[in-house]
Amino acid sequence: CKTNIKTTAIELIKILARLSIATLVWYCGTGLFLTIEEHTGVCGIPKYHDKVSCKKNGFFWNGFDISGHCFLLVWCNLVITEEVHKLFECKNVKGSNLNSFDTFEKTINDIQSNIVTLIFRSLSCLIVLWDLMIISTNIFFHTALEKLLGTSIAIIFWIFTYKFIYRYVHKQVTKYT
C-alpha cells in the first residue's frame, strides 16, 4: 500500500474499472430481465402479441418478471461493501477485525479526512435505505420465485466478479509488477 502518485493513479484506474464493470452488470442484468418478461408473457387480450402494443392499448402484460429491484439493491449493496472494504484495506492494522465498527472509526480517524468520513457515513446510510427498500419490495411486489431469482443473480454476479475475476486479475498484475 504505497502512497506515491503513480500508485494512487493506478488504484484510481482500478476503482473506475470495477465501477464500470458493476454498471455494465446492472445494465445487462436488468436488460436480460426485461427480455425474459417479454418472451414469457401474454397480454390480457390475445389480440396483442407484444408487451409494447399490449400496454399501449391499456391492457396488462403478464410475464415472468424477475425482480430487477431485488437484483439492483442487493448488487449495489454488495458492490458498495466491497469498495469500502478495499478503501480501508491498506489503512487497516494487520490482524485487526475489519468487521468491527471501532476498527473502521479508528481507521477513519487515522486517515484524518473529513471527506472520507462523510463518504463512509453517506454510503452507510444509503445501504440502510436500500435494505429498507428491499424489505418493501419483498412485501409488496413480485412472486417469491421472482424475488429469489433477482437476489440470487446479484449474489452470483458478485461472487463471480469480486471473489474470482478481480482476485485473479490482481494476482496476475502483481505477478508481473
Catalytic residue IDs: 69, 142
Residue carrying C-alpha cell 494512487? 8
CA Rg value for the chain: 21
Three-class HEC string of 106-150? HHHHHHCCHHHHHHHHHHHHHHHHHHHHHHHHHHHCCCHHHHHHH
How many of the other CB atoms lie within 10 Å of CB of 154? 25
Distances (CA, A) of 162 to 75, 123, 132, 151: 11, 19, 24, 16
